[in-house]
Amino acid sequence: MTQFDLTRRGALAGAGALAVAATLDLPGLGPAHAQGVPVNQAPGFYRYKIGDITITAINDGFGRRPLEGFVRNAELADVKKAMEQAFLPQDALNITFTTLAIQHGGKLTLIDTGNGDSGAPTSGAWAGNFKAAGFDPKDVSTVVFSHFHGDHINGFRLKDGTAVFPNAEVMVPSAEWAFWMDDAKASAAPEAMKGAFAGVRRVFGPVAKDVKQFEAGKEILPGITAVAAPGHTPGHTVFAVASGSGKLMVMSDTTNHPALFVRNPDWSAVFDMDGPQAAATRRKLLDMVAAERMQVAFYHAPFPATGHIAKAGNGFELVPVQWSTAL
């Protein structure tokens, strides 16, 4: 057999060698790793440039969601097939969380804040990753929110009431504020949504008088324009970031995992408050960024959650950016 021959016997031998290696005390991991004990990765942050703007993706871990019932308008068998095609497990989906820190003109702006100390046990990595990236919460000048789901807002205020970003201006979509801060809507909300309304008030209540509301279609900060993207929530917003020839669309929750909802843009996730509207918004935005060859950033795509969108049949594909050690 030549060095390039890969026979079944050779493959099985290689698998056996890997099994033996898994029992060894490997450098940096130790024997606990071989016994299935979770091991932290390196800090989860990644920087890239959009013109003169520096973007840093900050990972906040993941939450595990059972696959059954996750897509409201597709058969479970079809969803499982899509997961299989993406080499993902067919029982549950690990939903990742990635916020953005934007450095421009001497200012540090955040888009969304992660789960804070209110998320799943596998999330809550944001603060450590933010610090590892060289940032300090007190240096954040502005926090911009895309919408008010807990995994986007809870990192702004800890469960004990502590404000995480003491010097930051707070900017929110006016349509989102109008919905979630409406007392009549909160009172009439179904039981499953009452916790979400309460969470919004817990996070924003202490600073409500200082919150700055913005309208879609306007530049809210230099180089950042709000774009209405309703459906996921009533005021859900995405952001066009532009500098020089660089363009990035921050897609927020336009899709959940791209393997499901970029490839199948008409599917609706259980989190979409208005499924048909969310699907129409999703297809419109994916069409636009594909046609304009804009770079995109997703909140729930595999880290570092950025790339480009290409048309593929009746759907689209996320083409990840090539990882680079240089800006």
DSSP of 43-62, one letter per residue?
--EEEEEETTEEEEEEEEEE
Alpha carbon distance 94, 88 (integer Å):
9
DSSP state of 24: S
Spatial contact of 64 and 92, defined as CB atoms under 8 Å apart: yes
| 3-class DSSP assignment, residue 197 | helix
Residue 45: strand pairing partners: 58
| 3-class DSSP assignment, residue 95 | strand
Q: What structural domains does the chain harbor? A: 9-39 (no CATH), 44-320 (3.60.15.10)
Q: Which amino acid is at 117?
A: D
Tokens at 325, concatenated: 């050690």
Minimal CA–CA distance to 235: which of 273, 207, 205, 196?
A: 273
Spatial contact of 98 and 60, defined as CB atoms under 8 Å apart: yes
Minimal CA–CA distance to 241: which of 111, 99, 151?
A: 111
pLDDT tens-digit profile, the chain (327 residues): 444 455 555 444 444 444 434 444 445 555 444 445 556 789 999 999 999 999 999 999 999 999 999 999 999 999 999 999 999 999 999 999 999 999 999 999 999 999 999 988 899 999 999 999 999 999 999 999 999 999 999 999 999 999 999 999 999 999 999 999 999 999 999 999 999 999 999 999 999 999 999 999 999 999 999 999 999 999 999 999 999 999 999 999 999 999 999 999 999 999 999 999 999 999 999 999 999 999 999 999 999 999 999 999 999 999 999 999 998
Our measurement of the distance from residue 117's CA atom to the centroid of its chain's CA atoms, rounded to an integer in Å, reads 17
Burial of 82 (0-12, 13-18, 19+ CB in 10 A): buried
In sign, the C-alpha dihedral spanning 162, 113, 280, 195 is negative
Provide, for the chain, the percentages of residues in helix, strand and coil under a 3-state DSSP scheme, each rounded to the nearest 5: 30, 30, 40
Quick check: pTM over 0.85? yes
